[in-house]
Structure 1
Amino acid sequence: MSAVANKSVQCLSPTGLHRMAYKEWGDPANRRVLVCVHGVTRVSDDFDDLAAALSDVYRVVCPDVVGRGRSGRLLNPQNYALPQYVADMVTLLARVDAESVDWFGTSMGALIGIGLASLPDNPVRKMIVNDIGPALNWTALERIGGYIGEDLRFATFDEALAYIKAISLGFGPHTDAQWLKIARDVLRQNADGQWVRHYDLALALPFKSATEESTLQGEALLWQAWDAIRCDTLLVRGAQSDLLTPDTARQMTQRGPKARLVELPGIGHAPTFVQPDQIALARDFLLGTG
């Protein structure tokens, strides 16, 4: 396995400074950089298998987006939003001295990539968008806000593991060992010895404050961003995904970067890219062999 280092970078929000943790795989002098960014309640550890498989070619950088995992928390939870996340990634790219990057984003991580890749003079060369699109569903956002804000505490790890598996069925089939890692990556023990999820529960506040009107405005801005993207883009959809609809995926192949679409059967939201065939899909696209 290639060398991996745990690092952090200081970032700025409207209410102060915070630290963003990140894992860096491979040769730190490698100019070929791949940034992998996780979903809304996940962490950088999600990409351990993918990063290990690609670190022979890339320096792979996997951040914990602010509010998650080993990263700091924001003083104003309303700043848990795409503009802050994109700004933090620009700071991260400056820290790792990356003039050009390839991007792998799952769900929220893909929306951050879309935001970055839409900007003039952006550094994104290739991008994988994993099971998300510009179309937003207000009802779904309300549901997500309720789910991620629940202050759940589990007396035993087994209880917490069962919960993580239950809410992650869309990930598709995994081995017991894979489920164990998926759960361990996003759980921690609090001071009372209870198992809790490893993120700031205040992440839910921007979701809860969203309205149907603000959701429509956000969707329009995301489509505008998508239409501005020019980098080579692969769109991956879980064939049973309820977050990326077939119609939205079709539009994404016809607008903006005109992404190449691959659907993965038997999977919903979202493919984890820990399975060998999924890792091979990413590698083939990024290295231009597929």
Structure 2
Amino acid sequence: MSSPAAPRLHSVTCASAAGLHRMAYWEWGDPDNDHVLLCVHGLTRTGRDFDLLARALQDRYRVVCPDVAGRGRSDWLADPAAYVVPQYVADMVTLIARLNPARLDWLGTSMGGLIGLGLAGAAVASPLLRPARGPWGLGAAPDVPLGRMVFNDIGPVLDREGLARIADYVGQDIRFDRFPQAVDYVRSVSQGFGPHDADGWAALTEHVFHEQDGQWIKHYDLRMAQPFALQTPEALDAAETLLWQAWDHLPMPLLVLRGADSDILPAAALKDMLARNPRARSVEFAGVGHAPTLRSPDQIDAIRRFLLAD
């Protein structure tokens, strides 16, 4: 079956303490392929960040790229306090149940990596969510058949200065009269994405600003900055402890991507990640900070080689 040149848009209904919400997701490749790659974006981004990667992998996977709640085509949450990783993990479990994959590989950029780490930690601990059996000797037949995992410029260490930089602009109500102004803004706050040409910056802006009443506005619910801004040092320390516990026990092959200039995943943290989990390997990209956009051939090739390795 030939694969489409553009993704299909679907949605799934998820639950929070405040009620139901719809999570949109973009799907590439053969809809009957039961080998799924789930790609989850960063804090203020959308599932369309993975368009080029999805096109490169749709011959082997059904590639699914959700817009996390409050972003893109998904519903906003009734209670902004629910814009936290545990809610996102619950939404992903609902999505995975809808997809019903025989095997699920995961790729998460920044926040998407934290969601994946939370999901995988639950999978290891829960009798209902177990990693898939594979050549690396994992457990019994699963309900969520986790395979390989890619963490894009994120890990169990939550760098305070890097998080503060992101928090500075998350809740700002930025509006522009013309799309090129939005492109210039995205370029100014996203220098960590590394070098891109004019078309690249336009593509990175296209799905994170939309036109409303003659102005270009951010695609996401600005209220998601509220729980983000309320994180205390003590809460971050506790979160790091849980993330490290999950990371240390992940039994599947792991790939960590790092921008060489990243202020979110320090080099020392990556070194600790590789030392504490022998199933992990890493690739670093020069001239990039937080986070690699997975649009360049070298970045896409590194992911493809890892995911399709024997």
User: By the TM > 0.5 criterion, same fold?
Assistant: yes
> Structure 1 runs of 4+ off > 4 angstroms?
none
Paired residue for 1:118?
Answer: 121
* Selected match of 1:180 from 202, 217, 228: 202
User: In the alignment, does 2:56 pair up with 1:34?
Assistant: no
Question: Within 1, Cα distance between the matches of 2:41 and 2:158?
Answer: 18
* Equivalence map 1:245-264=2 (5 Å): 245-256=266-277, 258-264=279-285
Verify the 8 A CA contact 1:232 1:257 in the aligned structure 2: no
CA drift of 1:136 comes to: 1.3
* Selected match of 2:18 from 15, 21, 25: 15
What secondary structure, in the 3-state scheme, does the structure 2 residue paired with 1:24 have? strand
* Equivalence map 1:209-248=2 (5 Å): 209-248=230-269
Question: Within 1, Cα distance between the matches of 2:146 and 2:276?
Answer: 18
* Equivalence map 1:35-184=2 (5 Å): 35-119=38-122, 120=124, 121-122=130-131, 123-184=145-206
What secondary structure, in the 3-state scheme, does the structure 2 residue paired with 1:174 have? coil
Paired residue for 1:279?
Answer: 300
Paired residue for 1:2?
Answer: 3
Verify the 8 A CA contact 1:172 1:267 in the aligned structure 2: yes
- Alignment deviations for residues 213-238 of structure 1 (CA, whole Å, 9 cap, x no partner): 11111111111111121110000100
What secondary structure, in the 3-state scheme, does the structure 2 residue paired with 1:10 have? strand
Verify the 8 A CA contact 1:6 1:23 in the aligned structure 2: yes
What secondary structure, in the 3-state scheme, does the structure 1 residue paired with 2:275 have? coil
- Alignment deviations for residues 88-128 of structure 1 (CA, whole Å, 9 cap, x no partner): 11100111112420111110011111111122314221011
- Alignment deviations for residues 246-270 of structure 1 (CA, whole Å, 9 cap, x no partner): 1100011011354101111110000
Verify the 8 A CA contact 2:256 2:281 in the aligned structure 1: yes
What secondary structure, in the 3-state scheme, does the structure 1 residue paired with 2:173 have? coil
User: In the alignment, does 2:218 pair up with 1:197?
Assistant: yes
* Selected match of 2:28 from 4, 20, 25: 25
Which sections of structure 2, spanning at least 5 residues, go unmatched? Answer: 125-129, 132-144
TM-score (norm 1): 0.96
Q: What is the letter of the counterpart of residue 100 of structure 2?
A: D
What secondary structure, in the 3-state scheme, does the structure 2 residue paired with 1:189 have? strand
> Which is further off, 43-52 or 215-224?
215-224
Question: Within 2, Cα distance between the matches of 1:31 and 1:233?
Answer: 21
CA drift of 1:80 comes to: 0.7
Verify the 8 A CA contact 1:117 1:231 in the aligned structure 2: no
TM-score (norm 2): 0.90
What secondary structure, in the 3-state scheme, does the structure 1 residue paired with 2:175 have? coil
Change (3 A) 1:270 1:29: same
Which sections of structure 1, spanning at least 5 residues, go unmatched? Answer: none
Question: Within 2, Cα distance between the matches of 1:257 and 1:168?
Answer: 32
